[in-house]
A and B are shown apart, each in its own frame.
Chain A
Amino acid sequence: MTVSPDEPEVVVRLTVNGAAETRSVSPRQHLADFLRDELGLTGTHVGCEHGVCGACTVLVDGDIVRSCLMLAVQADGAVVDTVEGLSDSGEIAVLQQTFLARNALQCGFCTPGMLVTAADLLRSVPEPTREEVREAISANYCRCTGYHAIVDAVMAAAHGTEQKP
């Protein structure tokens, strides 16, 4: 990484998906690029890079955030969980199953952000209404599905109408 003389790198120490990581980063690098380029966690997608599309949604200290609107250096000391972590832990296994069953993805670009957002909703509202699901995912753009299938999938996961994998 090229760093200009007046832009020294900064050391960040953080926990990502349960593993302690230490890296030296440029201050201008946002957390999404850090996860993808430094840690190889390419499940976090970079779409609009200005906080609109939601594809880069991750959990920081248990709260969902736009990782493109947070500098990597700001995550120093934080606990970050990405779609890979939620997938490996099994937390989103049912969501993944219902997304597949309901055709809630086509190109898949928005899917990681949708899954993290849906998982966060189900943590606080285990049995949401369709309206609550729609409001939660209104923060995430999908250009393929028209959203109905995604709402169906989240509802199915929440209300147990799909067989667990």
Chain B
Amino acid sequence: MKPTSFSYHRPGTLPEALALLSEYQGAARILAGGQSLMPLMAMRMARPERVIDINRIDDLKGIRDAGDTLTIGALTRYNDILRSPLIAAQMPLLAEAIGHVAHHAIRNRGTIGGSLALADPSAETPATCLALGARIVAQSTSREREIATDDFFDGLMSTALEEHEILVAVRIPKRPTALPHAFIEFARRKGDFAQAGIILAPAHDGMPENRAVIFGIGPTPWRSAALEAAFGGEGFAAAPKAALKDELNVYFADDEAAAFKLPIVMTLAQRAFARLKP
């Protein structure tokens, strides 16, 4: 359980990090909080020749109020987000979700950007950013671009980031404070990866559509058409079990294989919708 040998780089600025990444394209990995990448390296699932440690780049840390959005620097650690008055006031859904991330010691190191870039399908952060209609800010030596979270997670631990890009921030539309939301997950032990989770985020001025995200099941979190259809109106009482089953079956060989997850998802969905009621 030791990482393979690698060369270590610790740039002090973003341009330096981008130049290194560009130079060693394909051979280098960005090391942020290390709470996902270090286990992958220990298990030899990741064997980078070079590690670019961005922890000393202070420009990548912090939460900024940018008017209609909050911009969270990629290197902002989970516990910094949990302690932020700005997040508590403007983005309680994110704080609630991060409260479910692993344990205190992990949250002291883990970063929001690292979680998004690693894109673990069971992780809370990618699913929550998708539910919040967030946009990913990716930087290369030549340009900065924004990617909607809807287009960002494109497979198991795979994202739309290009090899020469660093995820530098995430921009999240502010939500009206009175707007309800629901975050609920099922894990066998507090802090473990969820076996299934559901996030409901009703629409508002900054996010024109109701969003319902399911995570912990498929290779990426996904917006559930079946659950989004259950917003408003009769609510979840009229929820389409058959439609949910169809969504799950995409990731399983047959009904039997999905049979374990479907009751969990149904139960979580009922509880989640109940939380939206005033």
In the complex, the answer to whether A64 meets B105 with C-beta atoms within 8 Å is yes
A96 adjacent to chain B (CB < 8 Å): no
In the complex, the answer to whether A50 meets B109 with C-beta atoms within 8 Å is no
In the complex, the answer to whether A30 meets B7 with C-beta atoms within 8 Å is no
In the complex, the answer to whether A65 meets B105 with C-beta atoms within 8 Å is yes
> Could you tell me the distance in whole angstroms from the C-beta of B54 to the nearest C-beta in chain A?
11
In the complex, the answer to whether B6 meets A27 with C-beta atoms within 8 Å is yes
Number of A-B contacts (CB under 8 A): 90
In the complex, the answer to whether B5 meets A4 with C-beta atoms within 8 Å is yes
Enumerate chain A residues within 8 angstroms of B51, measured Cβ to Cβ. Answer: 27, 71
Number of A interface residues in the complex (CB < 8 A): 32
Alpha-carbon separation in the docked complex, A83 to B71 (Å): 38
Enumerate chain B residues within 8 angstroms of A117, measured Cβ to Cβ. Answer: 104-105
B35 adjacent to chain A (CB < 8 Å): yes
**B103 closest partner in A (C-beta):** A139
In the complex, the answer to whether A57 meets B1 with C-beta atoms within 8 Å is no
Enumerate chain B residues within 8 angstroms of A7, measured Cβ to Cβ. Answer: 5-7
A103 adjacent to chain B (CB < 8 Å): no
**A52 closest partner in B (C-beta):** B39
Alpha-carbon separation in the docked complex, A136 to B1 (Å): 26
In the complex, the answer to whether B106 meets A139 with C-beta atoms within 8 Å is yes
Contact residues, B64-95 vs A (CB, 8 A): 79
A44 adjacent to chain B (CB < 8 Å): no
Enumerate chain A residues within 8 angstroms of B189, measured Cβ to Cβ. Answer: 138
**B109 closest partner in A (C-beta):** A65
Give 7 A-B contacts (CB < 8 Å), ordered by A residue.
A51-B39, A64-B108, A69-B34, A71-B38, A71-B51, A138-B191, A139-B102
- Give me 10 other A-B pairs in contact (C-beta within 8 A), A27-B6, A54-B105 excluded: A28-B4, A30-B38, A51-B38, A63-B108, A64-B105, A65-B108, A65-B109, A66-B105, A66-B106, A117-B104
